[in-house]
Homo-oligomer: A and B are copies of this chain.
Amino acid sequence: MTGILETKIKSIANLSPEALDLLMASTRPKPLEKGRILLREGEVCKTVYYVEKGYLRTYFTKEGNEINTRFAFENDFVTELKSLRSAAPSAYWIQAGEKTVVWEFTKEKLLELYRQSAEIESFGRNLLEQMLVDQEEHGNLFRIYSPAERYQHIVRHSPHLLQRISLSQLSSYLGMARETLSRLRKKP
């Protein structure tokens, strides 16, 4: 039986069975209790995570408040790329928002695999391309839509966020005050 991670990898790049095995051999599942911190502000990020179950949230703090920048759910990859790339202290935290299972890919191991296998580097490039496309489209939500319209967009396109993310956490992700989101939620 093929796991969902393998299916995901294959959907991103056509790897030979050998390359797929190589990549899969570099990782294993890791269960996390709710609230577990995977990266703290100031630490250097050394890992890319794949979420099998549950979700991870990425956030930073500004004047004592947490600003959520990403929620990575089942079948998503996530990391703190700036810190990972440059080995610089991270400005962000990564935390499990529920009881979660992730697969870890360490930077060290990934770079080794990239050198070993052009196919795996190609996989890495393709994954980045997908993430960049998503990120660009997400950024445009803020250019086009008002807070009220952004909420409507989430209702239509990402309703799972409303079910799994608390209102106060979602509000910072959507760039609006908690009270605003609370009021939007009960309108027609």
In the complex, the answer to whether A133 meets B67 with C-beta atoms within 8 Å is: no
Q: Mark A129-160, 1 if CB is under 8 A from B, else 0.
A: 11111011111101110000000000000000
A142 neighbours in B (Cβ, 8 Å): 139, 142-143, 175
Nearest Cβ on chain B to A139's Cβ, whole angstroms? 4
Copy number of this protein in the oligomer? 2
Contacts of A124 in B (CB 8 A): 125
Cβ-defined contact, B140 with A85, below 8 A: no
Instruction: Verify B135–A139 contact, CB threshold 8 A.
Output: yes
Q: How far is the CA of A104 from the CA of B137 in the complex (A)?
A: 24
Q: Does A82 contact B (CB under 8 A)?
A: yes
Chain B residues, Cβ within 8 Å of A169: none
CB distance from A67 to the nearest CB of B (A): 6
What is the predominant secondary structure among interface residues of chain A facing chain B?
A: helix
Residue-wise interface mask of A (103-124) relative to B, using a CB-CB cutoff of 8 A (1 in contact, 0 not): 0000000000010001001101
Query: What are 27 residue pairs bridging A and B, where the CB atoms are less than 8 Å apart in the complex?
Result: A60-B140, A62-B144, A67-B140, A67-B144, A69-B143, A81-B129, A81-B132, A82-B137, A85-B130, A85-B133, A114-B125, A121-B122, A121-B125, A125-B128, A128-B128, A128-B129, A131-B132, A132-B132, A135-B136, A135-B139, A138-B139, A139-B142, A142-B142, A142-B143, A142-B175, A143-B172, A143-B175
